[in-house]
Every structure is written in structure tokens, then in C-alpha cells.
Structure 1
Amino acid sequence: MAATAAPGSCGPSRDSLRRLRTDRIDLYQIHRPDPSVDLDETLGALTDLVRAGKVRYIGCSTFPAHRVVESHWVAERRHRERFASEQPPYSILARAVEADLLPVCQQYGMGVLAWSPLAGGWLSGRYREGAELPQSRRAALLPARYDMELEENRRKLAAAERLALLAEQAGMSLVELALQFVMQHPAVTSAIIGPRTMDHLESHLRPLDVRLTPDVLDAIDVIVPPGLTINASRRRVAAARAARPRPAAQRIAVMTTTAAVTTGERARAYARTWSPSSAGPS
């Protein structure tokens, strides 16, 4: 069982474990860094959970690369448990983590659970040029991310159209192309999916039988270069959210389970600007 908690929460109690019908959580991840809480305090609380037998492994979610490195330094110096996993957003349209975070996770032997591999639905095959935009609860909740008046969303739509055509030429669906792209990266352990129907689930599992050739990966790089995230506003929103301290009352633990698909190795390595020699002690 995997679970995610808000930073600053006290972790699972015995009562919550009983409600989950388990005696421990296999992987307990904190949800985004909280600058108002010292990292050593966070790791100390998580270490207590591991030593109490409530949690097997701890992880982080949406941490920038420098915070991941800092967490390992703190763990080494303060004799804390180390983060065993990181859960970043990663898709063909959001490739910024290739430049630093994914190499850092490889350097420190961390598992990577990529979320939003379909880029919030943009790579589901439903967003095509000339077609009526689909309606969804996500679009209703986050209208700016799908507003075609914004240039960055028009760029995403154009990229999604070119990727859909590439997938057709390769004899696969855009969902298969998008999921296999994420799963073939050597740093990625699993891709988190969120199917709502059995048809969705089956379409999400088909990429297990698909492999992207070097030619297809090169064509993807032409459409969206390595290390590039198209939606710049999303990065700004995420950075602002991560930097905004939250009152303790808002740090509520949220227990979630996730569906994941296993991964293979990427057909080739991506060029990276980050060097493992700069990661510091491991």
C-alpha cells in the first residue's frame, strides 16, 4: 500500500491503520516540500514512523532536485531514514525533470513514480486541432490550464496534434505513445495512472506490450525537446505553491492509493545538463 501525506502531519495512527485494514504502510510519501517546516524535523518524524513499524519506506513528492539532495545530506548527518522514492510530474509535455531531478534520483538510487503521464488529459487523444474541446471535471476546476486564449495552451494543443499523428504513423494510440515514453526512461520506476472506466484501464495497460524505437523517440524530441516543459505557467504556479507557507491546520494527511504500471528501460539516454559528480555525498 502506498500513501501520501501533507508535510507537517503526524503520520498514520494505529486507528487509521486499522481502518485501512493493514498493520503498516509500505510507502509513505509527503506531498510537496513545505518551506515553513525544517527538513530535519520532517525526516525525524518520518524516521520515527519507520522505527515504530508503522511504515516501511518513506518518499517525497514534487521535490526540486536540490531539495532531494539536501534531504539525503540531512539524513546522512542526522542519522535519519532516507527518501526511497520521489513522485514528480512527468510527461512528453512536461520534461523539465529530465534536466536534474531524474538524474539525481538515479544517483541516489531512488524509485520514481511519475504522475500525470498524460499531461492532465492533453495526451489522451481527446485534444485534437479542429475538434471541439472535451468537457471534464478537471477543466471545470482548472479552467486556465485548458483556456485556448492562452498561448501556452495553444502550443500544447499543437504539440498534442503532432504527437497524435506520430503515434498513428507508429501504429499505436497517443495514450500508448505517452505512457511508454515515460516508462522507458531508465530513471522511472512506475507511472501513476487514473482510469475512470475499464476501457480506460485497458487502454492504459496496453503500453506494457509496446516499445518506442529510437526513431520514434527522436521524433518526440523534435516536437518537445528534452528538458522542456511547454506550460510555463504551470511551473510558476507549482513554484509559488511550494514556496507558500501553509497554516498547520491546513496540513491534513491525505491517504491515497495509486494504480501504477511497471516499466522498462528507455531505448536511449537523454542528454542532461546535470552531472552526477555534482550531487555531493551519497
Structure 2
Amino acid sequence: MVDHRPFGHTGVRVSALTLGAMNFGQRGNPDHEDSIRIIHRALDEGITSIDTADVYSDGESEEIVGKALAGGRREDVFLATKFHGQVGDNPQHRGNSRRWIVRAVDNSLRRLRTDWIDLYQAHRPEPGTDFDETLGALTDLVRQGKIRYLGTSTFEPSAIVEGQWIAQRCGRERVVSEQPPYSILARGVEREVLPVAQRHGLAVIPWSPLAGGWLSGRYHAGLDAPISRRADRLPARFDPRLPANAAKLVAVEKLAALADEAGLSLIHLAIAFVLEHPAVTSAIIGPRTLAHLESQLGATKVTLSADVLDRIDAIVAPGTTLNPADAGYQPPALTDPAYRRRGGLSTPQARVTP
């Protein structure tokens, strides 16, 4: 059975593994009944936390989770979903504005077949929208009983701190969790995100502890990269011909040898590494098949020795993300030249209401 940990300072306890539902639906496993079997198996093994998002297969993932929890299993699950990304073809159906949030939450509640969402998360920052507007809308949803807690995903440390400041200064509900990318190959959050989360008592539920499959044992030097829809969509993260991904492959070979020497699977080594960090509450696993789930369940029983952790540090240095594309989000100040040039922006950007 999976052990449980405190969810920040909320008083809630959640399983050390969270079942990520991104791969349920057309984006991954289109078989609803098979996906439901995977969810039920995870629950039977003691996983009590499920994470999804409205953009996963345009809401189909939420629908599958809703079906799986029907019939009495909803009460025992800490259910998390997210808003921000565009759902469907309408460009208005996205964002972090009050206008979209109040509609998005009702859509998610309907698909999930529930009256409340335990953790409602901003899937990404939106610099052009006041963070106070977002937190104000979410605060109203808490008071209406539609959501219990607020969370963020892939936010910069400055934005995490800003959220705490707005809550205190403006009387908003406080963000209680952050969901960052974190794996042996993507350790950038160790620099500031994880320490900031600890300082403010936030729960941390990292996504992609297997680095998008790079630490699943499927990638090997000299062999063609596995074929997948994700690799087709995101060549910057998965094309082994790119230098940053070639560096990941070198690290993977060394990590696989270390795992073998330690008597572990690479999967267990990777997940146990993420769970070892004192800031981490629960690692999100995203199985597409029952076999994927079974291969990951035992990771919570693994304790890595100091020697193994030191050798991991020697392969990928603390605070290092080998491929910046794996960071999940790049601030506009880095991606849009207009943010770095006087007169480049014609409209005011995000501000904080005092």
C-alpha cells in the first residue's frame, strides 16, 4: 500500500503517489473501460489523490475520472483538476480571468460528476492577467463550496511569493500547493521553487518524475527513440538528435547502470529520487496502461542510500535541467523580445492590486 503525507499545512493527508490522468482519453488511452480499470487498481493500492485538467483530451480525461469515481468512490479521493489552457476550438475558452474561471469550474464539475473539487489549480501563469483577479475568482469559488483549495502549476518562484502576498494583503484564499516539473533530468526547481514552497508551507506535487518517459527504461543509446504522439508533438523535448536531448540520453545510460547496480529498476530509482526531497508531498505518475501503473507502484517502498543520491548528483548536478524545454514554462520576458525593449509592449501587463 502507498504511504500518506501531509498536504502542506492544510491538515489533509494524501498518498505519496498521485494518479495523473493526462493519458486517459484520445491523447493517450482512448478505451474508457480500460482507463477506469487503471484508476480502480490505483485506488485499490492505496492511491487517494487523482490529478487531471480540463485540457486533457478536451475534457475527456475528466469525464473518464468522473465515471471511475461514480458509485461511491468519490468521497475517498482527493480530486485535483486545472484550468488555463484552451478547451475546444473557441479561443475565448481559456485563461486565468474571472470570466473563464467561473465557467471552466462548472464545466469541470459536470464532467467529473461531483459537487466539489478538492484542489483547483492554475495550469500555467498568465502575465497579462492580474493575479489578484484570478485569486479573487478562486476565493469566491471556495466560499461557494465548489472548490476546497487553490493551487498553481509550473509557476516561477516570484509568482509563488506574489500569490502569498496578495492573499495576505487583499484577503484572498491562499494558494496551498505548487505542481512543478521535477525529475533527475529536470532539477531546476531545486534552486528556488522547492525552497520557496517549503518556506511558505506549500504542498509540492511534481509532474513528470520519469521525465516524460526518458527514465522509463525505453530510451537507449544507439537505438531509435520510441514512437509516440507526445514525441511527435514535442520534438524539442524528445528528438534525440538535438544536443540537449543527446545529453539526456548520456545521463539516462549512466542512471540505468546505477539503478542496476543498486538492484532497482530505473523507474523506481527515478520516482524514489523525487520523493526523497523534503519539499515533495506526492509525485504524479501518469500511466497509460495497467502495466505502466504496476511498474511504478512499488517506488514508494524504495529508500535511496546517501551513496546512490551522491552518485545521482554526480550524473546530473543539483539545480540542473539538461534541456530547458523540460522546464514546462518560459516567462515571456525570455521568449518575447518586446518585453526586453523600451516601447515594445503596447498594453499594460499584470499588476498587483494594493
**Structure 1-normalised TM-score?**
0.82
Letter in structure 2 aligned against 1:50 = V
Give 1:151 shift.
1.1
**Corresponding residue for 2:82?**
4
In structure 2, relative to structure 1, the CA distance for the partners of 1:112 and 1:198 (3 Å cut) is same
Tell me if the contact between 1:65 and 1:100 (Cα under 8 Å) persists in the aligned partners.
yes
SS at match of 1:238: coil
Letter in structure 2 aligned against 1:92 = I
The one of the two structures with greater contact order (alpha-carbon pairs below 8 A, sep at least 6) is 1
**RMSD, aligned α-carbons:** 2.0
CA shift digits 1:21-46 (9 cap, x unpaired): 21111100011110110111111111
Q: Distance in 2 between matches of 1:240 and 1:54?
A: 32
Q: Distance in 2 between matches of 1:243 and 1:83?
A: 27
Alignment pair present for 1:167 and 2:259 = yes
Alignment pair present for 1:217 and 2:330 = no
Structure 2 residue runs of 5 or longer lacking an equivalent are 1-78, 85-95, 337-354
Q: Distance in 1 between matches of 2:191 and 2:208?
A: 18
**Corresponding residue for 2:155?**
63
Matching of residues 66-105 of structure 1 within 5 Å: 66-105=158-197
Q: Distance in 1 between matches of 2:119 and 2:259?
A: 34
**Corresponding residue for 1:262?**
none
Identity of counterpart residues, as a percentage? Answer: 57
Matching of residues 142-153 of structure 1 within 5 Å: 142-153=234-245
Give 1:198 shift.
1.1
Q: Distance in 2 between matches of 1:243 and 1:82?
A: 29
Q: Distance in 1 between matches of 2:81 and 2:284?
A: 13
Q: How many residues end up aligned between the 2 structures?
A: 245
CA shift digits 1:77-106 (9 cap, x unpaired): 001001011010000001010010001111
Structure 1 residue runs of 5 or longer lacking an equivalent are 245-282
**Corresponding residue for 1:139?**
231
Q: Distance in 1 between matches of 2:255 and 2:332?
A: 30
Tell me if the contact between 1:32 and 1:242 (Cα under 8 Å) persists in the aligned partners.
no
- Of 82-91 and 144-153, more deviation after overlay is shown by 144-153
Q: Distance in 2 between matches of 1:196 and 1:97?
A: 26
Q: Distance in 1 between matches of 2:152 and 2:259?
A: 33
In structure 2, relative to structure 1, the CA distance for the partners of 1:17 and 1:147 (3 Å cut) is closer
Tell me if the contact between 1:35 and 1:243 (Cα under 8 Å) persists in the aligned partners.
no
Q: Distance in 2 between matches of 1:131 and 1:43?
A: 48
Letter in structure 2 aligned against 1:124 = S
- Residue 211 of structure 2, aligned match among 96, 102, 119: 119
